[in-house]
Chain A
Amino acid sequence: MIIAIISVIISFLLDNFLSNITSYSLNSPSLFSTIYTLVILVVLFPYFNNQKKYIILSLITAIFFDIAYTSTFLLNIVIFTIIYFIVKKLNFILPNNLLMANITSLVSIFLYHIITFVILNIVNYNDYTIILLVNILLHSILATVIYTTVMYFILEKIYNIFNIKQIK
């Protein structure tokens, strides 16, 4: 569990650090911009045997994401919860390997942006276009794949060293 918490904290910090050195603006997003916190939660999912612990970790992360990064209330909690159910379903259907981890990560990131886009367009008077959404989704692919792959191998190695198969 400690390894999971540390990797979530590192990803959370990475979101902040990279936002200061790469472009996170809507009109020209960088190829290295994704939601690293969400990616790590997806990569960590198969290691959790105890779903309760995973849900608590996800919810606490969502609360901090809401408060520290987006200054919203409940939005990320709702999105992270929806993504949790999708990831759970995908992990049930798909085998646990690198390719599937990447597919699940991409689905999660796409869902995050699509849900945020829809909600903000409905309730917040913003008129974001579909072109903008597609542009953001396309620019998220590279960073998501790289980070998922790197963290997949790192976590696998660490859990092997400590001989941990699953978090109970």
Chain B
Amino acid sequence: MKIRNKKISPRYIILTIVILLVIILIIFSKTLKEDRKLNTVESLLKDAVTFGEKIILTPFNYIGSLVDDFNNLKDVRKENDSLKNNIDRIEAIETENIELRREIEALKEELDIDFVLTDYEKLNATVLSRNIGYWYNTLTIDKGTYNGVEKDMVVVNSTGLIGKVIKTTTFTADVRLITTSDTNNKISVSISNGENKLNGLIKSYSYEENKLEVEGISNTEKVNIGDKVYTSGLGGVFPSGILIGSVDSITTDEYDLAKLIKVTPSADFDDINYVTILKRKDKTK
């Protein structure tokens, strides 16, 4: 039998590679979507791997926390004195809180606002891993749907806004950081300049400068360097009043109509170990 040794033309090879690339990109355009829900198998595997890692890494993390504790001990006396002074003020603060809560309720009714920051339950979580693979700008935390965590819940820490939950499994959740230059996820912000509040949008994030870029504030408005930037509550995802950062520099757009404001984030995104998830309280309860 004669075997014919056919040579494949380079044109067909290139065509096949191009078709393969297109198919892969089409698949990725579906699978890499931020709002893609993890399927049951993915969810189970992720929980299993995370659980296994947690057990194995516990001794190492314990040693790490011991070192941290030892370092913190140096400041204990100073902190203790400061806390003793604060104890005397607690009663006064509690009375003030009750009064403020009443005022908030009255203002909410007057302004027809459904939710403010105090309407959120706080759930603390530990960060399991930070942005492995670099390009995803996410954190994985140890709380999931079992703890009532849902997609789009807001994540903060003691220094300010961190991001929002984008994916959940039963025992973990992925948090997308606000330091993500994503044109599809603009955050509505308000800048407090001492006299009034100005509303704008976080347009993007500059990785080179570590600055958030805010747009949409008229050039006639007054903004000062150092003014605090908070979430405005518009858009429905982020409640109002969460600190984002402070104004670092102010320029104008190419038409001289609006300000372009660079904001230094208040949170240190390189050092996040614990976060708080804001769970909206059920109003029907």
Residues of A within 8 A of B (CB-CB), count: 45
Check if A16 is an interface residue, CB within 8 A of chain B.
yes
Interface residues of B (CB under 8 A from A): 24-25, 27-29, 31-34, 36, 38, 42, 45-46, 49-50, 53, 56-57, 60-61, 64, 127-138, 140, 167, 174, 179-184, 204, 207-208, 210, 269-271, 273
Given contacts A21-B64, A119-B28, 15 further A-B pairs with CB under 8 A are A19-B131, A25-B131, A25-B270, A26-B135, A68-B50, A69-B133, A71-B167, A72-B31, A72-B32, A73-B32, A74-B27, A119-B25, A124-B32, A126-B181, A128-B207
Task: Pick from B38, B64, B181, B207 the residue with the most CB of A within 10 Å.
Answer: B207
Query: A69–B127 Cα gap in the complex (Å)?
Result: 13
Q: Which residues of B contact A163 (CB under 8 A)?
A: none
Q: Which stretch in A47-55, A89-97, A129-137 binds the other chain?
A: A129-137
- CB proximity of A47 to chain B, nearest CB, Å: 24
Query: A23–B179 Cα gap in the complex (Å)?
Result: 14
With A67-B46, A116-B133, A122-B25 already in contact, the answer to whether A20 and B36 are too (CB < 8 A) is no
Q: B25 contacts which of A29, A33, A123, A131 (Cβ < 8 Å)?
A: A123
- CB proximity of A61 to chain B, nearest CB, Å: 12
How many A-B pairs have beta carbons closer than 8 Å: the answer is 130
Which 3 pairs show the lowest CB-CB distances between chains A and B? Answer: A23-B270, A73-B31, A68-B49
- CB proximity of A83 to chain B, nearest CB, Å: 14
- CB proximity of B182 to chain A, nearest CB, Å: 6
Q: What 1/0 mask marks residues of chain A from 92 to 131 whose CB sits below 8 Å from any chain B CB?
A: 0000000000000000000001001101101111111101
With A67-B46, A127-B204, A128-B181 already in contact, the answer to whether A16 and B25 are too (CB < 8 A) is no
Beta-carbon contact of A71 and B45 below 8 Å: no
SS of A interface (majority): helix
Check if A17 is an interface residue, CB within 8 A of chain B.
yes
Sample (26) of A-B pairs whose CB atoms are under 8 Å apart: A15-B129, A17-B57, A19-B130, A20-B129, A20-B130, A20-B273, A24-B131, A24-B132, A26-B137, A28-B210, A28-B270, A69-B129, A72-B32, A73-B31, A74-B27, A74-B28, A78-B24, A116-B133, A120-B32, A123-B25, A125-B182, A126-B182, A128-B135, A129-B207, A132-B208, A136-B134
Beta-carbon contact of B132 and A69 below 8 Å: yes
Q: B45 contacts which of A68, A72, A125 (Cβ < 8 Å)?
A: A68
Q: A117 contacts which of B24, B27, B135 (Cβ < 8 Å)?
A: B135
